[in-house]
């Protein structure tokens, strides 16, 4: 389907009339299985139309986003030092109360001293970069939109065909629950750190669920 539109591309831009087949552009991009990285590798010189998002600098209240904020709000932060594996019950009770307050009043919170070493976090980032920097033919082996049967998924934009504009982003996703992928299913360039990182994150998630369960009044699992 070809859609003819008249569009203003933003402040300072001319209003232009174009014939644009968005469906074909999306399909061609998806069929390439190379993602945004593939566009860069093929020497793209301008952002394709499918990524245009209109005049996003206008906010609903008529103000503009300048990057400045006068907000005095502070995201709840919970220090997990000595709480997860420590024996200080008073310290843990205080943490549980902070979790209860954050969940009730905010719906989220930040944790510090969570026990995942910085070098593991850094190597996870580096491993992800190594994956995306591989030859496109290697990456394509993992490209799929079938999230039900694949444990390791590489794709660009999970909701590519539903969103009004695409994001300039590729994703490597490894589904670890309820059962982790087999080692041979993981990309060789980052398999070791993915296993280490995911194991630690799953353990942290279990610990946080314990704290939230206690915040609901349940007894601590022993």
Query: Could you please report the per-residue DSSP string of 157-204?
Result: -TTTTTSSS--S--EEEE--SSSPPPGGGS-TTTHHHHHHHHHHHHHH
pLDDT at 12 over 70: no
| Residue 117 to residue 110: CA distance in whole angstroms | 17
- As a whole number of angstroms, the longest Cα–Cα distance in the chain is 69
pLDDT of residue 220: 76
pLDDT tens for 34-78 read: 999 999 999 999 999 999 997 655 445 555 455 555 667 789 999
Query: How many C-beta atoms surround the C-beta of residue 50 within 10 A?
Result: 17
| Residue 79 to residue 125: CA distance in whole angstroms | 24
pLDDT tens for 66-121 read: 555 566 778 999 999 999 888 888 999 999 999 999 999 999 999 999 999 999 99
pLDDT of residue 61: 52
User: What is the pTM (predicted TM-score) of this model?
Assistant: 0.79
What average pLDDT does the segment 157-174 reach?
96
């Amino acid at each position: 389907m070809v859609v003819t539109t008249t569009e203003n591309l933003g402040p300072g831009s001319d209003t232009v009339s174009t014939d644009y087949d968005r469906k074909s552009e999306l399909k061609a991009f998806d069929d390439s299985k190379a993602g945004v990285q593939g566009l860069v590798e093929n020497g793209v010189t301008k952002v394709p139309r499918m990524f245009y998002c209109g005049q996003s600098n206008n906010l609903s209240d008529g103000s503009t986003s300048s990057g400045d904020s006068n907000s005095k709000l502070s995201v709840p932060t919970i220090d997990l030092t000595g709480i997860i594996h420590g024996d200080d019950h008073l310290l843990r009770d205080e943490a549980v109360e902070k979790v209860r307050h954050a969940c009730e009043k905010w719906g989220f919170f930040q944790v510090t001293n969570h026990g995942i070493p910085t070098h593991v976090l850094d190597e996870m980032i580096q491993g992800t970069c190594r994956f995306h920097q591989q030859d496109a033919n290697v990456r394509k082996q993992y490209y799929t939109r079938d999230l039900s049967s694949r444990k390791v998924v590489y794709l660009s934009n999970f909701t590519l065909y539903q969103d009004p504009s695409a994001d300039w982003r590729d994703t490597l996703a490894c589904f670890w629950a309820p059962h982790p992928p087999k080692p041979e299913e993981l990309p060789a360039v980052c398999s070791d750190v993915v296993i280490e990182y995911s194991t630690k994150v799953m353990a942290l998630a279990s610990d946080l669920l314990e704290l939230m369960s206690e915040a609901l009044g349940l007894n601590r699992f022993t």
